[in-house]
Amino acid sequence: MTETSEFFNPELETLNREQIEELQIERLKNTIQHCLHSAFYKQRFKEAGLEPEDIKTLDDLRKIPFTTKQDLRDNYPFGLASIPLNECVRLHSSSGTTGNPTVILHSRKDLDEWANAVARCLWMVGCRPSDVFQNTSGYGMFTGGLGFQYGAEKLGMLTVPAAAGNTKRQLKFFTDFGTTVVHAIPSYATRIFEVMQANGIDPRHDTKLRTLVIGAEPHSEEQRRRIENMLGVKAYNSFGMSEMCGPGVAFECKEQNGMHIWEDYYIVEIVNPDTLEPVPDGEIGEMVLTTLNREAMPLLRYRTRDLTRILPGECPCGRHHKRIDRMKGRSDDMIVLRGVNIFPIQIEQVLMRYKELGSNYLITLQTNEVNDSMTVEVELSQTYTGGPDAQQALTKSITSNLHDEILLTPFVKLLQPGSLAQSEGKAVRVKDLRKVY
């Protein structure tokens, strides 16, 4: 491709609907044959009385049972491997820490394709080899680190793998290296601006920042516009999940109106999370994804639990790959806060270890000026008699144990017994006040 081309993979990005579907059915058939090398899918197909030949059209996909995160946990660590382990070159594991984590395996080819998908996304929003790309994601199991690293390198940008935190150092890199493109989770983008202000840096005049890639956690259109205005950049929404490699699954084009999902890599279905029946385009439901070119660990009809919808109509950018709307929430109780996956039960487990505490608690998630935050309010036990000093020490201990469990530091507030509202039905444990929808 040339710098002036709008497309990184012109032949794949400009396929029309008919061509996309032709490619999908061919790749789906191959994927199914390949899946049957894994102990898990072999068993699944046997149980469902399914033969690979039963899948002849894209509609036949619906004959295949769903795959869930629980399946990944139950078959931890390598039960879904479709190639021998000695042909795998990397694994990523989810950030959630309840029960067995999930493991995602990658072959060399998987990593190349993943880098290609990310490069394609970055190119789509105007990144070119002359850009300087700084990644503020953690480099480790979180796929936002290595995922963007290899994608940006594949595109040919000068990359600055700054990794997470140390905002002052990030700012020095911006100015010293002439960073033009930054990847940051939305809550960190706001933090960057705050530190710029504190240090008298004007992003418009003192840096060359032009493009921001934000993703990994829910954020609203308003939040995006605020970030754009603060930093003087264009900010593009990026959707990814470890089970589908990581970033590079769906990405906004320059129209900033929905994220194109790369349909040569994935089949997207939107289903009603209760009936599991498909919903028409334009209606919100749970996104289900099937991988089409994964070697090490293909996934069929994976329930992402993310709620979104297909945006009907054509995108003026010339790509016919479907667009999904900004994420609307999740159909399970997993919280995604600042890119970290947390299940409320993890918090409960920590609280319930304290005999000083009662059993009522409430987790509140909020969007503050700077960051999304979590507050955990918990009632003291009826028999607790500790004074202010003891309560302060107790708060400190709970905060530190929660941090060890969920990898984020929540605000902890102790309440008198009976202070939290008693709900009529199921206890409401999580109040999500973040500005997302």
Partner interacting with residue 143 (select from Zn ion, ligand AMP, none; CB below 5-8 Å by kind)? ligand AMP
Would you tell me the crossing angle of helices 221-231 and 186-198 to the nearest 10 degrees?
30
Interaction pattern, residues 286-315, with ligand AMP; x per rule: CB under 6 A:
------------------x-x---------
Residue from 157, 216, 253, 414 in contact with Zn ion (CB under 5 A): 253
Residue 342 binds ligand AMP (CB under 6 A) = no
Instruction: Determine how β-strand 430-432 pairs with β-strand 234-239.
Output: unpaired
The partner residues of 323 in beta bridges, in order of sequence, read 260, 311
Partner interacting with residue 107 (select from ligand AMP, Zn ion, none; CB below 5-8 Å by kind)? none
Partner interacting with residue 253 (select from Zn ion, ligand AMP, none; CB below 5-8 Å by kind)? Zn ion
Contacts of 178 (CB under 8 A, 6+ apart): 132, 208
Would you tell me the crossing angle of helices 388-406 and 344-351 to the nearest 10 degrees?
140
Q: Which 3 state secondary structure label does DSSP give 45?
A: helix
Alpha-carbon distance 334 to 342, whole Å?
6
Partner interacting with residue 304 (select from ligand AMP, Zn ion, none; CB below 5-8 Å by kind)? ligand AMP
Residue 138 binds ligand AMP (CB under 6 A) = no
Partner interacting with residue 55 (select from ligand AMP, Zn ion, none; CB below 5-8 Å by kind)? none
Residues of this chain, 81-100, that bind ligand AMP according to CB under 6 A: 94-95
Q: Read off the DSSP letter of residue 67.
A: B
Contact 29, 55 (CB under 8 A): yes
Residue from 327, 363, 394, 398 in contact with ligand AMP (CB under 6 A): 327
To which residue do tokens 């918990």 refer?
378
Partner interacting with residue 239 (select from Zn ion, ligand AMP, none; CB below 5-8 Å by kind)? ligand AMP
Closest contact distance (angstroms) between CB of 313 and Zn ion is: 11
Residues of this chain, 196-215, that bind ligand AMP according to CB under 6 A: 215
Residue 317 binds Zn ion (CB under 5 A) = yes
- Which run of H or E residues covers position 79? none
**What does the CA dihedral 323, 327, 328, 331 come to, rounded to 10 degrees?**
110
Site of interaction with ligand AMP (CB under 6 A): 94-95, 143, 215-218, 237-242, 304, 306, 327, 330, 336, 341
